[in-house]
Amino acid sequence: MSYCLNPRCTSPQNADDTEVCQCGAKLQLGASEAPGAARYRALRPLGQGGFGRTFLAVGLAKPDKPLCVIKQFFPNVGIDRPKASELFREEAERLSQLSAHPQIPNLLDYLEQDGQQYLIQEFIEGQNLEQELRTQSALSESQIRQLLLDLLPVVQFMHDRQVIHRDIKPANIIRRASDQKLVLVDLGAAKYATGTALLRTGTTIGSAEYTAPEQVRGRAVFASDIYSLGATCVHLLTQMSPFDLFDTSDDRWVWRDYLIHPVSDSLAQVLDRMLQNATSRRYQFADQVLTDLRQPELAIATSTRKQEAYFLSGTARPLLTRHSLGLPRIAEDQSICTLSAVGEVVSIALSPDGKMLVSSSASRKAHDNAVNVWNLQTREMIHQFQQTAWMNAIAIRPDGRVLVGGGTNGTLNFWSLQTGELMGSIHAHAGQVSSLAICSAGDTLVTSGTDGMINLWNLTTGRLIRNLNAQSKRIPAIAISPDRQFLASSNYGATISLWEFGTGRKLQTLRGEATHGYSSIAISPNGRIIACGSSASKNGAIQTWDFVDRHLTGSASFDVHVGLVQAVAVSPDGKLLASGSRDMTVKLWNLHTGALVRHFQGHLSPIFSVAFSSNEFLVSGDGEGVIKVWALP
């Protein structure tokens, strides 16, 4: 059978060999004038929601004609068609990034035909949880815990990419027949940006009994998905609609009174917090739920009491530490939080008080080049400076007032970190600004460029103090010793140059084992250890040099990653060294023994930047715009 996709068709069912419906609409989606150009044919409807309809379909372009799912969106009359088409394509491209997760259906295609917009997604063979519940008993605690452990990482993956599902419910969770994995389907209601029917904001979407209160008012946030997942869980535990599990007269959930199987207090507390009506009392991110799920019952109770005390007192909590967040100990491979930008996060800087994070993003699209300023306590972006040329390097003056960025156009920009105002610009290099650093006193800025020059600037007046000719085609990294005695610069050979900071005199050249040069440099707080990220043989390596009284006493090179080490940083207390690599991992090392302390995994693209804030957490940025904050041991 062929099913007509025309929403106004009165007789949509047609024979398989019919090409045009009696209503005049083409029955083959993606059909053109060329013979055999059709790509998909709808077989039957699967469902309908506020944004459109879903159909089971078959792919015609492949010999085996695999099953797929067509999501048809209703037209948005509030926006002109060319603009709607442009936004639809951009947003579909963003959604395609979610296909990287094995528990999200692949986005196979997207297209427009006869004024309608369509997503084509992978068909997942299996039963959804709504179907399972009809034939089986209510779920037990262990089954609910496993469901949450399976799905929360999927939700966090979406949120990391700034996508809100907005329609999590049992019918949209399929147990895949091939491997019994839970798959989160129907991204048609997902929200990324405003504009088209695909991702329209300010619109109520989702199934009412699973929808968070703020989403009903058209203001979905990340925590809205947490609420919907919680409502799904209590439905699966009780076999009752969430509508029947909330006492409106007392304004409270009564799902515990209808349990078929008992659950522990620890799980009940997690579910209660997922279902809080006030977003301020609800979990904000999926990884927070995971943290509590993995803790003993007493730890969760303590965490919940701390959270309640914070909101009741209204006092400001300290920033992003395991203890100040009121959370139990973070698992070794788990991030505290995740932020998302657009493009490659090529540089990261943190304010001295740890309250603000600045990231620089590079993209092929000029309008996506931006410097973003985040409030780490609220995880909100407070400033965004869009640039035609991206900023290869950024740094914050030690007093926390001035942000400096060095761009691919050779220009230095200076912003007020508090107001976001552009204070001034300087043309600093004939080529790109490749790296920059501010001395500990905050009065001198050092920049390096692809023109082979190192320039020292008076940060107060903006005047050039001196320049150093490194006699290299480009200088990818520089660093200043905390005591301002010397600065170090790298090149794309296997050497590091040391310069006297006060005079610019070259002190010595350090030779290492890098085959592709050194892409990053970090100096310990006491100035006795220089660490560089490099690519030695086939593996990413870190090279270190040890000094006593400015005399070289030893060096070592050791393979630490399976890809180029693109970023290194030393902790403020001088005990830890962080490395970020093209192998998509971040590793933490004992700077003095070389022992591996932590292995952070969670990024899905190469790491371009790492930075420490005090001795409490580490920040890393990757090639897909994802920024993760990790707790330190």
| Residue of 160, 167, 451, 622 marked active site | 167
Q: Which long-range contacts (CB under 8 A, 24 or more apart) does 156-160 make?
A: 156/285, 156/286, 156/287, 156/290, 156/338, 157/98, 157/101, 157/104, 158/98, 158/101, 158/104, 158/184, 158/190, 158/225, 159/222, 159/225, 159/285, 159/286, 159/338, 160/338, 160/340, 160/626
Calpha distance 391→54 (Å, rounded):
43
- Find tokens 């008012």 and name the residue: 217
Encode 471-480: b = buried (16+ Cβ within 10 Å), e = exposed: ebebbbbbbb
Encode 565-576: b = buried (16+ Cβ within 10 Å), e = exposed: bbbbbbbeebbb
Determine the 3-state secondary structure of 341 from DSSP.
coil
Phi–psi pair at 231, nearest 5 degrees: -65, -35
Calpha distance 374→581 (Å, rounded):
24
- Find tokens 């006869």 and name the residue: 114
DSSP code of residue 83? H
DSSP code of residue 492? S
In the residue annotation, 333 being an active-site residue is answered as: no
* CB-based burial label for 10 (10 Å; 0-12, 13-18, 19+): exposed
Q: In what order do the strands lie in the sheet with 116-122?
A: 28-29, 40-48, 52-59, 67-73, 116-122, 107-113
Collect all residues with Cβ–Cβ distance below 8 Å to 615 and sequence separation of at least 6. Answer: 571, 572, 573, 632
Calpha distance 351→346 (Å, rounded):
17
- Find tokens 């999200």 and name the residue: 104
Calpha distance 458→49 (Å, rounded):
61
Residues tagged active-site: 167
